[in-house]
């Protein structure tokens, strides 16, 4: 039985996993780790260096030249790729469109899972992603599986992008990207997105951020003083 507490949050694209994960980490004083940012940063490196996704040697070689690090500012997770801050660039469409095939590569997943397990070895963490409760931390004390209506998810993500000043994309395009990633994430051969048997389902289509935080805190509470 692990001594440190791990809260695993998995679920579909853009259903507020990181919002919940950040809020929980802040409330509990845990470290927040955004595993999707790691796949996105790898994707950015592959795009910039034209890494051929069919070439296993090139992939293995690229992985040796990538160093990812997280640093936290006000519970916002920032990621660096070989020392360069890439937190904003990895959210843009070129990376969002290319990340699914990259995250389906066996060698990439193996390396990411190893690094994620190291991060959760001794500290209390909240980690969000697609395979955290199933492959990375099957022994996590608390697991959530998040979902929401795809239309609502697209609207939320679109509004977020517009608020950041990104008007290069339509609501329909955001919806298409989300639907495409849902399909790719759930049907890939390597660690597809599935609910761990012991994961608590959290559908936030009709609830507020405050309500979902209260619900999640209630589930973590029993593990805090054991």
For the chain, the distance separating the N- and C-terminal CA atoms, rounded to the nearest angstrom, is: 12
Q: In angstroms, rounded to a whole number, what is the distance separating the alpha carbons of residues 192 and 208?
A: 28
Phi, psi of 148 (to 5 degrees): -165, 160
Instruction: Give the sheet arrangement for strand 68-73, strand by strand.
Output: 68-73, 76-81, 84-85
Q: Is 16 annotated as a binding residue?
A: yes
208 marked among binding-site residues? no
15 among annotated binding-site residues: yes
Min CB(117)–ligand DC separation in Å: 12
Q: C-beta of 226: minimal distance to ligand DC in Å?
A: 27
Six-digit token string for 146: 């998040």
Strands 142-147 and 200-203: parallel
Residues interacting with ligand DC, by CB under 6 A?
13, 35-36, 39-40, 99-100, 103, 129-132, 181, 185
Nearer to ligand DC, 39 or 158 (CB): 39
| 12 annotated as ligand-binding | yes
Cβ at position 131, least distance to ligand DC in Å: 5
State how far Cα 70 lies from the chain centre: 13
147 is in an annotated binding site: no
C-alpha angle 34-39-40 in degrees, rounded to nearest 5 = 90
**Minimum distance from CB of 56 to ligand DC (Å)?**
18
In whole angstroms, what is the distance from residue 202 CA to residue 225 CA?
A: 24
Q: Are strands 6-11 and 200-203 parallel, antiparallel or unpaired?
A: unpaired
Provide, rounded to whole angstroms, the least separation between the CB of residue 225 and ligand DC: 29
**Residue number with CB closer to ligand DC (106 or 121):** 106
Name which of 111 and 131 has its Cβ closer to ligand DC.
131
Residue 5 or 15 having the CB closest to ligand DC: 15
State which residue, 22 or 181, has the beta carbon closest to ligand DC: 181
Residues at the binding site for ATP are 11-19
Residues at the binding site are 11-19
């Amino acid at each position: 039985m692990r001594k440190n507490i791990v809260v695993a949050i998995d679920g579909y694209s853009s259903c507020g996993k990181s919002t919940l994960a950040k809020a929980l980490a802040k409330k509990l004083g845990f470290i927040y780790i955004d595993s999707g940012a790691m796949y996105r940063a790898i994707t950015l490196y592959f795009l910039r260096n034209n890494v051929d996704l069919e070439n296993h040697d090139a992939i293995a070689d690229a992985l040796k030249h990538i160093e990812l690090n997280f640093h936290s500012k006000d519970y916002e997770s920032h990621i660096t790729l070989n020392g360069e801050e890439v937190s904003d660039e990895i959210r843009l469409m070129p990376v969002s469109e290319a990340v699914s095939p990259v995250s389906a590569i066996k060698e990439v997943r193996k390396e990411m899972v190893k690094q994620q397990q190291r991060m959760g070895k001794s500290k209390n963490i909240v980690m969000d992603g697609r395979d955290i409760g199933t492959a990375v931390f099957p022994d996590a004390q608390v697991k959530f599986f998040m979902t929401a209506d795809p239309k609502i998810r697209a609207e939320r993500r679109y509004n977020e992008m517009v608020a950041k000043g990104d008007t290069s994309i339509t609501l329909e395009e955001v919806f298409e990207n989300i639907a495409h990633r849902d399909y790719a994430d759930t049907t890939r051969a390597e660690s597809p997105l599935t609910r761990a048997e012991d994961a608590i389902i959290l559908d936030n289509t009709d609830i507020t951020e405050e309500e979902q935080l209260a619900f999640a805190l209630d589930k973590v509470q029993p593990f805090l003083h054991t």
